[in-house]
Structure 1
Amino acid sequence: MNIKNLNGVIEFGTGASEYELQGLERQLEEKIPCEYKFLLSQSNGVWHKNGLVIYAIEDVFERNETMGAIKYAAGYLAIGDDSGGRAILVPYEGTGVYIVDQGSMDPDDFDRVGASLTNWVNNGCVLP
């Protein structure tokens, strides 16, 4: 995954440290999915001209708690949003990138937008 070559990016954050990544895992009481952990280590937050926001590490727990992903989308981690009311999620185990209306965090309502986080990023983070 080469986040620095992603077209349309407005701003990158500085990569998260291993200490920050471990702190997030303690908050979540889950291991961060490997691809997302790598992305955060490369850029702690991404802002794209298509409205996509990939959350900075300090926002991940709060956003998951606030939008109900922790409660209603167990097994998934919200990693960002489209700035239009839809969350971007990845599974803690397995692969795929999903989008869902933040008002319905039910996995039955998820739409798959990428086979993997690496694939989705490498293909330009296309949003439907």
Structure 2
Amino acid sequence: MIDIINNLNFTLYEPATREEVIEVEKEFGFKLPNVYKEFLYVTDGLSTNESISIFGTDEIIDMNRSYEVQKYADGYVAIGNSGGDDFLLMRSDEIVMEVIRVDCGVMNPAYAHPFAEDFIEWINNGAVDPYDLDEDDEEQQLGRLILIGPPKNGSSDLKIIKKAFDIQYRAFDILKGYKNVPFVLTENVVIDQALEKIKSLGELGDLLKVEKV
């Protein structure tokens, strides 16, 4: 049961109607997760003080269309975002409970991170981003991201890496660089976050390392 009405950290909206939810399902051609629909019947969208947004019935259609979620993450639906850079995805299945997080620029569940095992429990407990917890205000350590080996698939692999780390190099410059590794792809990355992204890239991550500045 969704129990969020008295949470002062949430911005809530009028509940969605069953007709509005049915229209979303017609638009997508599949059933939304039951737990997400239960949420919509409490509030048609939500935002928190900690940069989490859960889409309402209008926004979910616009965001999934704009980012072509069903094309690049077939079998999933984006139900929210974290910090504006990552989508929160759920399987397009009525009984699913789990939420995963994926970079908007990659949009591939193969590179996703676990986010919440139980959508309702996560919402009721404050919709906290598990990757954005304070660490006693410790200063974040910065480093440089280095390509240490040539990718097997050349420019297509480099495109995935470029999107994952929001690298601003022109593709031509990176193509020249990967033929002469090690090659610094970008400076001043947050080390902990970069290591998480490297891990999410699987075999591609083996071609990268982070070096403290």
Both proteins in one fold, TM over 0.5: yes
> Hey, what does 1:4 align to over in structure 2?
5
What is the number of equivalent residue pairs in this alignment? 127
Pick 1 or 2: higher relative contact order, CA cutoff 8 A, min separation 6. Answer: 1
Q: Tell me the equivalent position of 2:40.
A: 40
Q: State how 1:1-80 maps to structure 2 within 5 Å.
A: 1-6=2-7, 8-9=9-10, 11-80=11-80
Looking at structure 2, the residues matched to 7 and 99 of structure 1 have their Cα atoms a distance apart, in angstroms, of 25
1:108 to 99, 107, 110: 110
Match of 2:86 in 1: 86
CA RMSD of aligned residues (A): 1.3
Distance in 2 of aligned mates of 1:68 and 1:6: 33
TM superposition shift of 1:68: 2.4
Q: Deviations over 1:22-78 (max 9, x none)?
A: 100100111111000000111001010001111121111120121221111111110
Whether the 8 Å CA contact 1:113–1:120 is kept in 2: the answer is no
What is the one-letter code of the residue matched to 2:20? E
| Residue 107 (structure 1) shift | 0.7
- C-alpha displacement at 1:2, in angstroms? 1.3
Runs of 5+ consecutive residues of structure 2 not aligned to the other structure: 132-213
User: Do the aligned partners of 2:35 and 2:97 also contact (CA within 8 Å) in 1?
Assistant: no
Cα offset, 1:118, TM superposition: 0.9
Whole-angstrom distance in 2 between the partners of 1:115 and 1:5: 23
Report SS of the residue matched to 1:42. Answer: coil
Does the aligned pair in 2 maintain the 1:97–1:120 contact within 8 Å? no
Alpha-carbon distance between aligned partners in 2 of 1:6 and 1:108, rounded to the nearest angstrom: 34
* In structure 2, C-alpha distance between the alignment counterparts of 1:25 and 1:90, rounded to whole Å: 14
Match 2:119 to one of 106, 117, 120: 117
Q: Would you say the 8 A contact 1:86–1:100 is kept in 2?
A: yes
**TM-score of the two chains, using structure 2 as the length reference:** 0.57
Equivalent residues of 1:12, 1:47 under 8 A apart:
yes
> What is the distance in 2 between the residues matched to 1:125 and 1:110?
18
